[in-house]
Structure 1
Amino acid sequence: MPAFTRVLARATFAALVLVASPLTLAQTPAAPPPVSAFFGNAPFGDARLSPSGRHLAVRASAPGKRDFLTVIDLDTNSAKVVAHYNDADVRNFYWINDRRLVFDTHDKGVGPGDQRFMPGMYAVDFDGGRFVELASRNFVNSSTGTRITRRLLPPSSQMAGNTPWVDSDETYALAPVGDTRNELSHVDLLQVNTVSGQYKTVPRPGATRGWLLDHKGEPRLAITYKDLTTTLQYLDPATGKWRELTSFPTFKETAATIEPVAFGPTGTLFVTARGKAGTTAMHTFDVNTGKLDPQPLLSAPGYDIDGELVINRDKVLGMQFRTDAVSNEWFDAGMKAIQQDVDKLLPTTVNLMSVPARGDSPLLVVTAYSDVVAPVFFLYNSKTKSLNKVGEARPGIDPTQMGRQQFLRYKARDGLDIPALLTLPPGAKRTSLPLVVMVHGGPWVRGKSWGWAADSQFLATRGYAVLEPEFRGSLGFGSNHERAGYKQWGLAMQNDIADGVRWAVDKGLVDPKRVCIAGASYGGYSTLMGLVNDPDMFRCGISFVGVTDIGLLFDNGAHFSSDTSRDVKQHSLPERIGDPVKDADQFKATSPLQQAARITQPLLLAYGGVDRRVPINHGTALRNAVMRTNKQVEWIEYPEEGHGWALEKNRIDFWGRVEKFLDKNIGSGAVR
């Protein structure tokens, strides 16, 4: 067994005992918060109510300590740490009944390249009793005990996170299984008794890639993959057999494509589907007829529905989803009234609410946030209308020092509307500001929504305006916006970025001589192509874990592995990016590596040594090519990091370097 010491603490952690505390704004200190206030490890992670609302489980930490799991008895207002380790941090957790929790771990002090253990999986009672190891942290499974042998879950097992619809000591885990090519073959669903540790594998109807439990907490839907087709299989409770509900192409969206979301307490299946307007909406799906109800339950013009249902054991209460920001939409009149009461108590923030499984509990967890307020967690009692603060994600952040943010849209040169976020420095006069354009990764993802974010606020507190475009190809704004980005890497997608700068300059917000472009992954690629395409616009560039050559996405070279599957490379990337053979000329023209001699501006490059998404050869090849003609290149390599910075020390180091780089090139230290 590896060294892995669990410590049960009997002392109450005072910072977690609930106290009445309104959300107030302090006086503005002279200096902005340090880098660590933005990019250090957060001291407070999450809070979840037990099904009855009697107990509140919280993941938190103290200075110099590992993340631990504590449970607050809300009747006595006392707390007890139930899981705490000296060589690991508690990560995900959830209640499986009113007495018992399941959780896993990770090591925040070790980068991906130095990881030696799996997350493991554990169960414990609210009082710290009946602790059971369910899945080993060893990569090779082992038995526990000296005389009694018990099979542990496969080390790759992950918590399924199922809602505690019934009071049972059992839960479910997901276990990915690889094939001979070291790619995903299928995902097993394991039914686990969290007291005995015994488990059994749920029979699957094919190469399952996902599972959905019903309103009774039983497996009801399996998502299978075969011959480039995704099929939804339904386990019929009347026959006990699997039957096909519907199927659709995996890598090509059609009218039949749906995304299962959840089963409601009455057995109704909720899904998202794309309508005639080109955006997705929430619908119900009849499992008996295999038909989608054409009338949406919830839609948002101009946005794809993106979120999850809020459900208790009795009914579907509403949904948490995002448009320009993340918010709750309530179907239940009682929840609408509670939302109004909470909003009166916290009038300056968006107030998200989560509910316990039992509908008779008056307690809710409120997560309050805004553009200047990092998430703050409260406990609200709907009977007494009392609000108590539980914890803060970023206690070192003073809202009065943050910059205000707005969601906006500007026109690209071909007339397409480009959504974007604009964050201005605190107290800015909105004229002739230095600008950092932050390009999101993916690119087929939704970027940020309105709200506090460490990177944009860090830059704003240093005096920079920050523009974050949702360029064509980004998800969340309908199929037309997404498909407009197909095969447009370095072309129209790149023009959208430049057009955002021109919009800001035309508005008088930005000094055209002080603009820098930055981003990670695809955003790093866009940074490099921005320097290539618009050298007079961008004075500098910051590319971290950035793609430097499109061809390398298809073939990283013999010495580098990739976490992108062969099917994605063969059937998705050619449609979205282009074909390496047919579009070879376009790939060359839009390759930063091939166009390296055209990059003449100061450039900061940063890569992780064990990145399997964008291996480090992307960075070293570009660095060497650019430096043949441009010596203004700063190179950062974090050998233990993957696709991003997992370690606190590296995040603080990186953003400290960014601050100096920007100051030198477009900030107060720049030569005018």
Structure 2
Amino acid sequence: MSLTRASLFHAAVLALSLCTAPGVQAQATPALPSIERFFNRPVFNGGVLSPDGRSIAARSSAPGQRDFLVVVDLQTNSGKVVAAYNDSDIGSFQWVNSERLIFNVNDSTVAQGDDYNAPGLFAVNRDGSNLVQLAETGFSRSSQRTGQRTGRRLLPWHTFMLSERGAQDSEYVYVRDLAWKPGYKKYRYGLLRLNTVTGQAQEVSRPKEDVTGWMLDHKGEPRIAFGSDEDVGIVHYLDPATKEWRKLITYKLYGNNEDAITPLAFGPDGKLYVSTRQGRDTSAVHTFDIATGKLNPEPLVSTKGYDFSGNILTSREKVLGMIFTTDATSVEWFDPAMKAVQETVDRLLPATVNLVSAPPQHAKTPWLLVRAYSDTIPATYYLFNRDTKLLNKVGETYPGIDPKQMGRQQAVNYKARDGLNIPALLTMPAGAKRSGLPLVVLVHGGPWVRGSSWGWSPDTQFLASRGYAVLEPEFRGSTGFGAAHYKAGFKQWGLSMQNDVADGVRWAVEKGYVDPKRVCIAGASYGGYATLMGLVNDPDLYKCGVNWVGVSDINLMYSSANHTNDMSDEWKRYGMPEMIGDRVKDAAQLKATSPIEQAARIKAPLLLAYGGVDRRVPIDHGTKFHSAVKRTNPNVEWVEYPAEGHGFYLPKNRLDFWTRVEKFLDKHIGQGAVQQ
């Protein structure tokens, strides 16, 4: 098909951005944005420019259709769906070279427990020709798709795409081969060089130790292999001169690993860029001398108050800039030309943070991709023409979201009772008064992760759209805020970590933002554990709680009589005793901070939701706690999604769960509670 540029991106790539979300009827002025707007699958998941910059490939969808792969030729203004199936969805995809793509598939109509198919590997030309299957899609059978080449044996199902970008100048890519050792949780990754036309593959040499990850260099060739040995992390380096692997870096893998050095990328000059602390509280970017094994002590980039979290942006000739996250995710350009591009894009899109992509590896055209977002605007994608200085919208992740109905979000800080500074995000409902609001304190999972950064998220904005203020604390133990903040959370489940959350609520009350009689605590995984312990420790602070897929007993994390979790033996042997608690030495503390053991103390209304095939927090956590708490608390709602895992994958289950949450909150802290 051939279209004008103005209509091209809305028709060939995303006519969908003008449509309502699946199953939602358009309304002129809806009182509230519908729940489907937040929890249906994103309509558009971003695009990727071809290495020569001539084409853009995107995975997209439409009401009643499977996700498909579309390629738009930016020179001829023509677009084409190059891969689509009736029984599966396009998953991840990459450009092999400027003429060819590789992709895998999944099935968005089945929950995690029903998804027995591995994603497989496929390749297709940008015009839709020469579509071939390269790897099986089934765990236990050799499955193929009608009409694709079957002349040679397919690679096994445990062959996966590599996230690293290759050279993109031939028919070859590197892919991972997953091999299990005795015991299903022990595995290693091999590396294959795969021809995406013939399907022929060659194994790449690897270190003697098990490898769990790979990094390609600036030329797209294997150079780093990540591995581990018990509690030791190992970074291996493939010397291009000798073709031999050698150990480059070793560090403590679990707990207080302050000497860890994390490779980020190779620059075009061959330098290895890494992230490390080097005696500071927060990590920064350094260069690492491969020949001497020495770190340059002077940091190239540091982000005050934050660990460096991001990556290096390069062209074939030089380092152009870096993308990183502080309170929000942004780009800092070193290259004057890219800095000028950023300034132009920012003038054209003044209401959003605009993440301009680095030029494609073999760019011959002026196009760059821009991901724009804000606290009230979900990620929206544009193409920017460096010659004409014009922007064209490519697609929206959540079309139909009205920014005027979204809550405004700000990064805040408050002091915990022991003086530790706690960062947090506070989202206030749109158009609402800024005092006396009902509050949902949303506790992130992990807990050893960064909870969130400034920007639009479905959970937060759905709650805000229903009139709730939302507080998201980065309690001690959260990563990204320095070593002291991280280590302060060791062995503090249900103790100081819990106090940090409660202190955030009290701070919001003292500021006048929140009605102290209308506060609910909610969260998933560790956040579900914190929800339960919040109701145990601070019964006068929280009116209700919502826990989904939450831990209910630390000892159950070590072992369960009925269900096995997916946490490694090494994590249980080295990480958990140091960071959470030793089953023997800390037995009394683990009992005192066990929601199951303390269930009789929970009197507040509670909503519990679990997945029947969750391997991270097996359903024993839910059923055992539910059995214990309902003996003394009649106000407990329970829902199980039998085929779901650690989180709810199917849109119908997400919609069901959040509909329950909406009704539960309204009854206990919302308008329903006010009217009682």
TM range (shorter): over 0.9
2:191 to 166, 189, 192: 189
SS for the counterpart of 1:244 is strand
Once the two structures are superposed, the pairs formed by residues 582-597 of structure 1 within 5 Å of their partners are 582-597=585-600
Query: Counterpart amino acid of 2:87?
Result: D
Amino acid at match of 1:308: N
Alignment of 1:519-534 (within 5 A): 519-534=523-538
Q: Secondary structure at the match of 1:669?
A: helix
**Does 2:213 correspond to 1:210?**
yes
SS in 2 for 1:96: strand
Q: Give yes or no for the alignment of 1:119 onto 2:122.
A: no
SS of equivalent residue, structure 2 residue 97: coil
The residue that corresponds to 1:5 in the other structure is none
> Which residue of structure 2 aligns with residue 72 of structure 1?
72
Rounded to whole Å, the distance in 2 between the matches of 1:146 and 1:113 is: 28
Match of residue 443, structure 2, among 436, 439, 444: 439
**2:96 aligned with 1:96:** yes
Match of 1:564 in 2: 567
- In structure 2, the residue matched to 1:152 is 154
Query: Is the aligned partner of 1:162 residue 2:144?
Result: no
1:16 is aligned, of 12, 20, 23, to: 12
CA deviation after TM superposition for structure 1 residue 624, in Å? 1.1
User: 2:200 corresponds to which residue?
Assistant: 198
Match of 2:334 among 331, 348, 355: 331
Please state how far the C-alpha of 1:254 moved relative to its aligned partner.
4.4
User: SS at 1:272's partner residue?
Assistant: strand
Q: Distance in 2 between matches of 1:227 and 1:163?
A: 30
Query: Which position in structure 2 is the counterpart of 1:82?
Result: 82
User: Is 1:18–1:388's contact at 8 Å kept on the other side of the alignment?
Assistant: no
Change (3 A) 1:245 1:358: same
Q: What's the offset of the Cα at 1:350?
A: 0.1
Task: Please list the CA deviations of residues 154-190 of structure 1 after superposition, one character each: whole Å capped at 9, or x if unmatched.
Answer: 2122110332434111001112211111122311111
Q: Partners in 2 of 1:309 and 1:593 — Cα distance?
A: 46
Counterpart among 176, 179, 187 of residue 178 in structure 2: 176
CA distance 1:31–1:317, change in 2 (3 Å): same
Q: Which amino acid aligns with 2:611?
A: G
Give yes or no for contact 1:28–1:400 (8 Å, CA) kept in 2.
no
Match of 1:545 in 2: 549
SS in 1 for 2:500: helix
- Could you say if the C-alpha distance between residues 147 and 87 of structure 1 is closer, same or farther in structure 2, counting changes exceeding 3 Å? closer
**Partner SS state of residue 38, structure 1:** helix
Change (3 A) 1:99 1:216: same
Q: Is 1:406 aligned with 2:410?
A: yes
What pairs with 1:630-641 in structure 2 (closer than 5 Å)?
Answer: 630-641=633-644
1:128 aligned to 2:128?
Answer: yes
The alignment's C-alpha RMSD in Å is 2.1
Counterpart CA distance in 1 for 2:156 and 2:283 is: 37
Conservation of the 8 A alpha-carbon contact between 2:192 and 2:204: yes
Determine helix, strand or coil for the equivalent of 1:428: coil
Tell me which residue corresponds to 1:518: 522
Measure, in 2, the Cα distance between the counterparts of 1:492 and 1:57: 48
SS in 1 for 2:332: strand
Contact 1:525/1:547, CA 8 A, preserved across alignment:
yes
Counterpart of 2:454 (choices 429, 450, 454) is 450
Q: C-alpha separation between the residues in 2 aligned to 1:648 and 1:631?
A: 30
Deviations 1:441-464 (A, max 9, x none): 000000110000101100111000
Structure 2 equivalent of residue 477 of structure 1: 481
Matched, 1:380 2:367: no
Aligned residue pairs, count: 659
Residue of structure 1 in register with 2:22 after alignment: none
Secondary structure of residue in 2 paired with 1:63: coil
Q: For residues 493 and 359 of structure 1, what CA distance do their matches in structure 2 show?
A: 49
Structure 2 segments unaligned to the other structure (5+ residues): 19-25
Give 1:310 shift.
1.6
Are residues 363 and 10 of structure 1, via their aligned partners in 2, closer, same or farther at CA, if it must alter by over 3 Å? closer
Report whether the alignment pairs 1:503 with 2:479.
no
Q: Which amino acid aligns with 1:452?
A: W
**C-alpha distance 84-146 of structure 1, shift in aligned 2 (>3 A):** closer
Distance 1:601-1:71 versus aligned 2 partners, 3 A rule: same
Question: Residue 572 of structure 1: SS of its match in structure 2?
Answer: helix
Residue in structure 2 matched with residue 652 of structure 1 by the alignment: 655
Deviation per CA, 1:334-370: give whole Å up to 9, x if none: 1111000000000010001113112554211101100
Instruction: Indicate yes or no: 2:341 matched with 1:345.
Output: no
Residue 39 of structure 1 aligns with which residue? Answer: 39
Q: 1:251 aligns to what?
A: 254
Distance in 1 (alpha carbons) for counterparts of 2:151 and 2:2: 31
Q: Distance in 2 between matches of 1:372 and 1:337?
A: 26
1:276 corresponding residue in structure 2: 279
- Per-residue CA deviation, residues 125-157 of structure 1 (Å, 9 max, x unaligned), is 100111121111021364979997623222122
Q: 1:246 to 1:548 in 2, by over 3 A?
A: same
Q: 2:607 aligns with which of 594, 604, 607?
A: 604
1:429 alignment counterpart: 433
* Aligned mates of 1:629, 1:313 — CA distance in 2: 66
Q: Is the 8 A contact 1:96 1:162 kept in 2?
A: no
Q: Distance in 1 between matches of 2:401 and 2:96?
A: 34
Match of 2:21 in 1: none
The question of whether the paired residues in 1 share the 8 Å contact of 2:13 and 2:395 is answered with no
Distance change >3 Å, CA 146–CA 105, structure 1 → 2: closer
How far apart in 2 are the matches of 1:447 and 1:13?
A: 34
Distance 2:50 2:639 in 1: 45
1:259–1:272 CA contact under 8 A, matched in 2: yes
Deviations 1:475-509 (A, max 9, x none): 00011000000000000000000000000000000
Q: CA deviation at 1:396?
A: 1.6
Amino acid in the other structure paired with 1:44: F
How big is each residue's C-alpha offset from its partner over 1:253-290, in whole Å with a ceiling of 9 and x where there is no partner?
Answer: 44541111111222211111113331111111111111
Give, as a single letter, the amino acid of the residue that structure 2 aligns with 1:479. Answer: A
Moved more, 306-315 or 429-438: 306-315
Whole-Å separation in 1 of the counterparts to 2:605 and 2:336: 57
Gaps of 5+ in 1: 1-8
The residue type paired with residue 240 of structure 2 is P
Quote the Cα distance in structure 1 between the aligned partners of 2:123 and 2:52. Answer: 19
SS at match of 2:71: strand
What amino acid is aligned across from residue 503 of structure 1 in structure 2? Answer: W
Between the aligned partners of 1:47 and 1:331, the Cα distance in structure 2 is 24
* Higher mean displacement: 217-226 or 437-446: 217-226
Q: How far did residue 651 of structure 1 move?
A: 0.5
Task: Rate the CA distance shift 1:595–1:10 in 2: closer, same or farther, 3 A.
Answer: farther
User: Residue 105 of structure 2 corresponds to which residue in structure 1?
Assistant: 105
Instruction: Tell me how far 1:14 sits from its aligned partner.
Output: 5.2
SS of the residue 1:56 aligns to:
strand
| 2:256–2:487 Cα contact (<8 Å) kept | no
Q: CA deviation at 1:312?
A: 2.4
Tell me which moved more, 524-533 or 304-313.
304-313
Change in 2 beyond 3 A, CA 1:329/1:13: closer
- Residue 649 of structure 1 deviates from its aligned partner by 0.2
Partner-residue secondary structure (3-state), 1:670: helix
**1:239 to partner: Cα distance:** 1.2
- The equivalences for 1:479-494 within 5 A come to 479-494=483-498
Q: How far did 1:382 drift?
A: 1.1
Change (3 A) 1:390 1:613: same
SS of 2:656's equivalent? helix
Structure 1 contact 143–151 (Cα < 8 Å) conserved: no
Contact 1:245 1:290 in 2 (8 A): yes
1:39-74 C-alpha deviation (Å, 9 max, x unpaired): 011111120000111000011001010000000010
Question: How far apart, in 2, do the equivalents of 1:18 and 1:142 lie?
Answer: 34
Q: Secondary structure at the match of 2:302?
A: coil
Q: TM-score normalized by structure 1?
A: 0.95
Give me the whole-angstrom Cα distance separating, in 1, the residues matched to 2:258 and 2:438.
45
For 1:335 and 1:300, locate their aligned partners in 2 and report how far apart those are by CA, in whole Å: 21
Change beyond 3 A, Cα 1:477–1:255: closer
